[in-house]
Amino acid sequence: MTTKKHLFAIFSFCLMGVYAQQTDSEWNVSVGANVVDFHVTNDDFLPTTNFISESFRDDLFTSKDFNFSNRAIYLSAYKNLGFGFNLGISTSFNKVDQYVYADIIPDLDLGFINTDVTFNFNPFRASRIDPFVGMGIGMTNIEQTAYSHLNFGVGLNLWFSERVGLSYRSDYKQNPSTSFNNYFQHNLGLIVKTKKKDQDNDGVPDEEDECPEVPGKAEFNGCPDTDNDGVPDAEDKCPTVAGSKDLNGCPDADGDGVADNEDKCPAKPGSKSTQGCPDADRDGVQDEQDQCPYKPGPASNSGCPETDSDNDGVFDNVDNCPDEAGSSENSGCPEFGAADEAAMKSFTKGLNFIVDTLELYPESEELLVEIAAKIKTYTSTVFIIEAHTDSRGTYEENQKLSDRRADAIVKKLMKLGVPARNLVAKGMGERYPIATNMYMDGRRQNRRVEIKPMKN
């Protein structure tokens, strides 16, 4: 009795384990017929040590000992646990008329019901021919007499399609309390494999689908690959355009190894160091930015060789005066020093205005051209253009006139190519005469222009 209680407890526990599984998992459901054979396991000839004796083999499938009737129904449902294992419950109904003592008690008609919980192992689940072995526990009821049993079985599933097949199994049912009611049961029926839940209908069950709400591919665990390039969208930097796995799913039109989305020159082969753009001299500076595209040079020198003809520390490609030593502050040109200031002062003595006008004398115009050329060599120096007047007229009039004259000279110098950033106009009025205003010659000298460097 104690053994029966233990078996019943195990039986109940296994049932709970089966039904605790997720409802969206795959089940194998089978319905068919069964035959029961008590004779082969209970005859006196059955050896206790040699279960596969010749007489046993001969008697195992003797149909005259089979119990089979129109109510010999077999039902089962097995939950697939993965890795070829499944756990399930089965129930069968039959009529017993071939019992151990059928010769002594003729015309037997005993009701038969059994229920099993079985653990199976299928090593070849991907095959159409699908053998398995199993073991479990169960309860047998013969004409209202119930007892527990252990069962050991083998079987074979033959699949006609992905989900429908024919299932056969043979089980040996052993009563642990006595060997009297041991029996073999053979089942044959139709088996159907239920479909796992797959809400996106991509063929990958939700429990295995890493993207259960978006249709995808089995090779990517149910996740999509929109452009079909072999790179799943989650890892594809270009998910809508087919590309290369080596480039994270992005295309490379020019085949230079730089993906088009990162290639600044997608139609021209280049290198990674120049972001996919051509670099003819391979100096790391792309040709469009290389001032010497066919001569290697550093990026700091705009891709040109580092040559300095005048040895002033300013490379020739950025030296505005490559043959004349200067300073880096003045773009390689000489600084405007005291000697230069004195020379400029002497140079500008010939810049004089015609009386009451903004015009220079013709000879002064020619001189201004030479002055402009000189100023342009001092690119970092700002020059103040001072315009002076004589004393004729009122003070206010002379100040306004000098302002206009200074502006006029600045405009003339700009037309001659001097950058506006290097020029500042300043009207000086009549305040700083260099000669007497009593005579015509003195007044002419006072109507002058002086050009001076701005002091820091």
67-79 per-position pLDDT tens digit: 878 789 999 999 9
Predicted confidence at residue 105, as pLDDT, reads: 58
Q: Say how far apart CA 204 and CA 78 lie, in whole Å.
A: 20
Domain residue spans of the chain: 2-193, 338-453
| Residue-level pLDDT at 133 | 96
Q: Which CATH architecture has domain 338-453?
A: 2-Layer Sandwich (3.30)
pLDDT in tens, 244-285: 888 888 998 888 889 888 888 988 898 888 888 988 888 888
Q: Check residue 248 and give left, alpha or beta (phi > 0: left; psi -120 to 50: alpha).
A: left
Per-residue pLDDT band for 126 (boundaries 50, 70, 90) equals: low
Partner residues linked to 362 by β-bridges = none
Other CB atoms within 10 A of residue 26 CB:
19
Residue in 317, 313, 321, 323 with CA at minimum distance from that of residue 299: 317
DSSP string, 148-214: EEEEEEEEEEEESSSSEEEEEEEEEEE-SS-STT-EEEEEEEEEEEPPPP-TT-SSS-TTT-SSTTS
Burial string for 142-172 (b: 16+ CB within 10 Å, else e) reads beeeebbbbbebebebebeeeeebebebbbb
Per DSSP, the three-state class of 416 is coil
Distance, CA of 76 to CA of 87 (rounded, Å): 11
- Per-residue confidence (pLDDT) for residue 385, from 0 to 100: 92
Residues 406-430, mean pLDDT to the nearest whole number = 93
Higher local confidence (pLDDT), 371 or 18: 371
From residue 391, alpha-carbon distances to 131, 360, 387, 430, 431 in Å are: 124, 18, 13, 6, 8
Between 311 and 93, name the one with better pLDDT.
93
Q: How do residues 189-243 score in pLDDT, each as one tens digit?
A: 999 988 778 788 888 888 888 899 889 888 888 899 889 988 998 888 999 889 8
CA triple 92-96-101, angle to 5 deg = 140
Reported as a pLDDT band with limits 50, 70 and 90, residue 100 is low
Residue 101: pLDDT band (50, 70, 90) is low
Helices within 240-394 (DSSP H only)? 338-347, 362-375
Q: Do the beta carbons of residue 389 and residue 455 sit within 8 Å?
A: no
| 11 or 25: which leads in pLDDT | 25
Of 368 and 300, the structure prediction assigns the larger pLDDT to 368
Contact 414, 407 (CB under 8 A): no
| Percent of the chain topping pLDDT 70 | 86
Residue 24 has pLDDT above 60, yes or no: no
Range with the lowest mean pLDDT among 38-52, 151-165, 383-397?
38-52
pLDDT at 15 over 60: no
Interval 354-375 mean pLDDT? 86
Residue 252 burial (10 A CB sphere; 0-12, 13-18, 19+): buried
Distance CA 129, CA 163 (A): 13
Q: Mean pLDDT over residues 375-398, rounded?
A: 89
pLDDT at 42: 53
Model pTM greater than 0.85? no
- Per CATH, domain 2-193 is 2.40.160.20: yes
Record the tokens describing residue 313, joined without a space.
């520390």
For the record, the structure tokens of 38 come out as 């008590």
Beta bridge partners of 384: 424, 452
